[in-house]
């Protein structure tokens, strides 16, 4: 399968030195049997056609989807044009920009920052998920989806993040959106830039937490 990684930001220098850029993290978790290409959408780099890749992964970013940045409207347009033509997976900022592109709304939450280990309860189990009632992940985010997109379902949620994990039911039912999270070992000073999507890990529920989250995402989107 050909996978395009839509890179919407980079980790802080400290975390990039340890873990690499977002695309490298995702490629390690997905495995080497996929053909991947990174598109630096912040610099206006896109495929010629949405059909050029079988699936797209949208990474995390220090930016907010509501920020007045020149590349954000173009990314929304590309996602809308990709509907029905390729699979989509959004991680942190990625799932927030997907929500906005498909009719939802994202805001800086008046609840403040979510930092630390949060418990998410499974609301709607899917065949591609492991048989668990919930899972815990380290999170670091303030932006949240405040209006659920039409044609979407909430898969898992926490009291702090009611739209934490979701899937779209558009045709094909491709997008699977992953909760925002951070490297569990990142310092507080790193979280603002790198915590927004730098790593997605299920802990305590599974022995290989990062791979489990990405495996769920991949299975839900047909990336195998």
Domain residue spans of the chain:
2-220
Sorting pLDDT into bands at 50, 70 and 90, what band is 223?
low
Higher pLDDT, 128 or 213: 128
Q: Which ranges constitute the DSSP H helices of the chain?
A: 13-19, 22-30, 71-82, 93-101, 188-194, 209-220
**What is the share, in percent, of the chain residues with pLDDT greater than 70?**
75
The alpha carbon of residue 158 and the mean position of all alpha carbons in its chain are separated, in whole angstroms, by 16
Torsion of CA 148, 158, 87, 40, to 10 degrees: 90
Q: What is the pLDDT of residues 14-46, one digit of tens each?
A: 888 888 888 888 887 777 777 899 999 999 999
Average pLDDT, the chain: 77
pLDDT of residue 53: 95
pLDDT of residue 179: 40
pLDDT of residue 204: 33
CATH of domain 2-220: 3.40.50.880
Q: What is the pLDDT of residues 117-143, one digit of tens each?
A: 888 899 988 777 788 888 887 888 889
Structure tokens at 10: 């980079």
In 3-state terms, what secondary structure has residue 196? coil
pLDDT of residue 27: 81
Q: How many CB atoms lie within 10 A of CB 66?
A: 14
Cα–Cα distance measured from residue 178 to residue 91, given in angstroms and rounded to the nearest whole number: 5
Sorting pLDDT into bands at 50, 70 and 90, what band is 180?
very low
Cα–Cα distance measured from residue 172 to residue 16, given in angstroms and rounded to the nearest whole number: 34
**Which residues, at least 6 apart from 32, have a Cβ–Cβ distance to it below 8 Å?**
none
Sorting pLDDT into bands at 50, 70 and 90, what band is 214?
low
In 3-state terms, what secondary structure has residue 125? coil
Higher pLDDT, 18 or 5: 5
Positive or negative: CA dihedral 205, 207, 209, 214: negative
Name beta bridge partners: 176.
89, 167
Maximum CA extent, the chain: 42
Cα 81-84-86 angle, rounded to 5 deg: 85
**What is the share, in percent, of the chain residues with pLDDT greater than 90?**
32
Q: Which of 155, 72, 66 is nearest to 105 (CA)?
A: 66
């Amino acid at each position: 399968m050909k996978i395009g990684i839509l890179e919407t930001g980079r980790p802080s220098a400290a975390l990039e030195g340890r873990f690499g850029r977002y695309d490298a993290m995702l490629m390690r978790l997905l495995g080497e049997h996929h053909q991947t290409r990174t598109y630096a959408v912040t610099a206006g780099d896109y495929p010629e056609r949405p059909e050029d890749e079988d699936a797209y992964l949208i990474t995390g970013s220090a930016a907010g989807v509501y920020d007045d940045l020149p590349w954000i409207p173009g990314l929304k347009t590309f996602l809308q044009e990709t509907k029905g033509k390729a699979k989509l997976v959004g991680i942190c900022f990625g799932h927030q920009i997907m929500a906005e592109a498909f009719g939802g709304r994202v805001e800086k939450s008046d609840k403040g920052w979510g930092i630390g280990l949060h418990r998410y309860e499974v609301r709607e189990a899917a065949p591609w998920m492991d048989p668990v009632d919930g899972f815990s992940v380290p999170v670091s985010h303030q932006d949240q989806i405040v209006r659920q997109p039409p044609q979407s379902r909430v898969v898992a949620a926490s009291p702090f993040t009611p739209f934490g994990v979701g899937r779209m039911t558009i045709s094909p039912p491709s997008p699977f959106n992953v909760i925002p999270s951070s490297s569990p070992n990142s310092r507080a000073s790193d979280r603002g830039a790198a915590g927004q999507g730098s790593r997605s890990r299920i802990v305590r529920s599974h022995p290989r937490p990062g791979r489990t989250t990405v495996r769920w995402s991949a299975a839900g989107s047909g990336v195998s």
